[in-house]
């Protein structure tokens, strides 16, 4: 209920706690040097507040843990599977639902069937694994985001929208090469920005005219639906679950990671209506994921997802969820920290290139800032910039379009005082931003570099 209180509280009591270990600054400095300045190489125990990702890091509810106990591990036709399938179809009533161990497995199965050399797959913005799974088949992945979606300071209520005219042009020219059109809701790589229902409808109409199916990458569907409810005319009085069903009704299928909005620690699925596609995908699924009624998941995981899906569309939860991310963003903005606006649903992105404007992009300001946040207060974030995207196809190192640092907020995991602490850590780093030095890469692998790259701080 929204009774107009200024304070939006966490709509849950704490049921079990996970102690955190406080290291001192010198110790953190040592651990970071041992990790060769790559935050992925830290032991998570040495991190105080972990904002590396919102994927699989949420807290499950008491109802989810109770459901875990109901998990039935029959190889085929387990009751847990039927409960999972029913929960998925309640929101996304596609004929075929194929469970997978996580989102990228759904992507791999789908694009192994529909991808291939000469094909092209448009999206508002492909997430890295989606792009990688498309490109691995020899197909091309293109991003058709609206121009505002590429501008970190431009306010727009639905910055995740697809450029419908660009889609029209692509389909008019190369429609026969397009196996499907995708929309990522919310648009993670663009800052967790939502797609409006009007845009989905317009994309749907273009797809229909060209006879192309529309698939949703629906990882953060509930956060997207909340933005539609609160920002799009005509939806204020519509229940979030109904908004989700309306989004599903515009699509022919979906890929999904249950590690995001469905509030589970693992899992995903692929769902659609096409019967011949289902036969091919199921055969591939059996090859690498498992029998199609468990698809690489334990029955208890299927149970946790089924309950999580219902909790994900609870409006008190969503009001709190979006408010807590906004709380972090508002505070950083008040401190004068350059952040991507408007704030997305799952994370706040700091513009490290502007924050550390004395550092050239090729000395990796995002990496430098992420390391500084860890040394200052044990906060782990993720560079999304030149470390991740700096290598060009010709092998040269060029600045990425932006150098961002993502503070992803795990679901139901941290309290407002944890976020107050994060804000204070950023404030302290801001006070000495001019003293931060850049980074020199001592090892950069060819692909997916951020996971295993190694660095040394440059001298003052």
Residues that bind ligand F0G (CB under 6 A): 53, 55, 102-104, 127, 129-130, 184, 188, 217, 219, 257, 259, 268
Work out how close the CB of 55 gets to ligand F0G at its nearest, in angstroms, rounded to a whole number: 4
CB 176 within 8 A of CB 207: no
CA gap 421, 36 in Å, rounded? 26
Closer to ligand F0G by CB, 272 or 436: give it.
272
Work out how close the CB of 335 gets to ligand F0G at its nearest, in angstroms, rounded to a whole number: 25
Q: Which residue is nearest to ligand F0G (CB)?
A: 103
Closer to ligand F0G by CB, 152 or 267: give it.
267
Closer to ligand F0G by CB, 53 or 80: give it.
53
Closer to ligand F0G by CB, 143 or 168: give it.
143
Closer to ligand F0G by CB, 217 or 376: give it.
217
Work out how close the CB of 258 gets to ligand F0G at its nearest, in angstroms, rounded to a whole number: 7
Long-range contacts of 328-335 (CB under 8 A, 24+ apart): 328/407, 328/409, 328/419, 328/422, 328/423, 331/419, 331/420, 331/423, 332/423, 332/426, 335/423, 335/426, 335/427, 335/430
Q: List the beta bridge partners of residue 256.
A: 269
Closer to ligand F0G by CB, 340 or 359: give it.
340
Work out how close the CB of 128 gets to ligand F0G at its nearest, in angstroms, rounded to a whole number: 8
Work out how close the CB of 257 gets to ligand F0G at its nearest, in angstroms, rounded to a whole number: 3
**DSSP secondary structure code for residue 394 in this structure:** T
CA gap 124, 162 in Å, rounded? 5
Sign of the CA dihedral running 433, 334, 345, 338: negative
Length of the chain, in residues: 460
Residues in Cβ contact with 248 at an 8 Å cutoff, skipping those fewer than 6 apart: 91, 92, 93, 94, 216, 254
Sign of the CA dihedral running 169, 103, 371, 433: positive
Closer to ligand F0G by CB, 188 or 193: give it.
188
Closer to ligand F0G by CB, 267 or 438: give it.
267
Residue tagged 């350059």 (tokens): 338
Q: List the beta bridge partners of residue 253.
A: 215, 272
Work out how close the CB of 4 gets to ligand F0G at its nearest, in angstroms, rounded to a whole number: 34
Among candidate residues 51, 42, 48, the one with its CA nearest the CA of residue 22: 48
Closer to ligand F0G by CB, 340 or 433: give it.
340
Work out how close the CB of 43 gets to ligand F0G at its nearest, in angstroms, rounded to a whole number: 19
Work out how close the CB of 60 gets to ligand F0G at its nearest, in angstroms, rounded to a whole number: 16
Closer to ligand F0G by CB, 125 or 363: give it.
125
Closer to ligand F0G by CB, 130 or 363: give it.
130
Among candidate residues 347, 316, 295, the one with its CA nearest the CA of residue 240: 316
- For the chain, how far is it from start to end, CA to CA, in angstroms? 53
Burial string for 372-406 (b: 16+ CB within 10 Å, else e) reads bbbbbbbbbbbbbbbbbbbbeeeeeeebbebbbbb
Work out how close the CB of 56 gets to ligand F0G at its nearest, in angstroms, rounded to a whole number: 7
**DSSP secondary structure code for residue 429 in this structure:** H
Work out how close the CB of 30 gets to ligand F0G at its nearest, in angstroms, rounded to a whole number: 27
Sign of the CA dihedral running 425, 429, 432, 437: positive
Tokens of 450: 């951020």
Work out how close the CB of 386 gets to ligand F0G at its nearest, in angstroms, rounded to a whole number: 18
Write down the H helix ranges in 175-274.
197-209, 221-231, 240-249
Q: Would you tell me the crossing angle of helices 240-249 and 197-209 to the nearest 10 degrees?
A: 20
């Amino acid at each position: 209920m929204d009774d107009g209180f200024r304070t939006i509280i966490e709509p849950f009591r704490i049921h079990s706690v996970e102690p955190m270990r406080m290291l001192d600054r010198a110790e953190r400095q040592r651990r970071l040097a041992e990790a060769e300045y790559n935050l992925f190489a830290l032991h998570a125990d040495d991190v105080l507040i972990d904002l590396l990702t919102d994927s699989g890091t949420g807290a499950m509810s008491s109802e989810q843990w109770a459901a875990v106990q109901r998990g039935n591990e029959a190889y085929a036709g387990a009751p847990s599977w039927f409960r999972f399938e029913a929960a998925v179809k309640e929101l996304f009533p596609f004929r075929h639902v194929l469970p997978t161990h996580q989102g990228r497995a759904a992507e791999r199965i789908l694009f192994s069937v529909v991808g291939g050399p000469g094909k092209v797959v448009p999206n508002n913005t492909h997430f890295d694994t989606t792009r990688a799974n498309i490109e691995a088949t020899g197909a091309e992945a293109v991003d058709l985001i609206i121009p505002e979606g590429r501008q970190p300071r431009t306010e727009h209520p639905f910055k995740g929208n697809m450029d419908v005219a660009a889609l029209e042009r692509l389909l008019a020219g190369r429609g026969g090469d397009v196996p499907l059109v995708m929309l990522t809701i919310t648009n993670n790589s663009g800052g967790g920005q939502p797609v409006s229902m009007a845009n989905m409808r317009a994309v749907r109409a273009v797809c229909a005219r060209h006879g192309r199916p529309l698939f949703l990458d629906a990882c953060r569907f509930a956060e997207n639906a909340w933005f539609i409810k609160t920002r799009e005319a005509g939806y204020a009085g519509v229940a979030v679950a109904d908004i989700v069903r309306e989004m599903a009704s515009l699509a022919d299928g979906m890929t999904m990671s249950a590690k995001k909005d469905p509030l589970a620690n693992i899992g995903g699925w692929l769902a659609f209506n096409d019967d011949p596609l289902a036969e091919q995908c199921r055969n591939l699924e059996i090859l690498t994921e498992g029998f199609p009624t468990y698809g690489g998941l334990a029955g208890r995981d299927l149970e946790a997802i089924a309950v999580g899906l219902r909790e994900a569309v609870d409006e008190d939860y969503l009001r709190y969820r979006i408010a807590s991310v906004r709380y972090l963003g508002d505070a950083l903005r008040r401190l004068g920290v350059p952040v991507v606006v408007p704030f997305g649903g799952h994370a706040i992105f700091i513009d490290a290139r502007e924050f550390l404007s004395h550092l050239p992009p090729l000395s990796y300001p995002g990496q430098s800032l992420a390391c500084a946040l860890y040394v200052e207060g044990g906060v782990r974030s993720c560079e999304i910039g030149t470390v991740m995207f700096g290598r060009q196809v010709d092998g040269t190192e060029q600045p990425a379009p932006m150098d961002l640092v993502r503070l992803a907020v795990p679901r139901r995991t941290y309290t407002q005082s944890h976020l107050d602490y994060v804000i204070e850590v950023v404030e302290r780093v801001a006070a000495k931003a001019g003293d931060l030095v850049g980074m020199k890469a001592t090892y950069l692998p060819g692909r997916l570099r951020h996971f295993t790259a190694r660095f040394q701080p440059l001298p003052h």
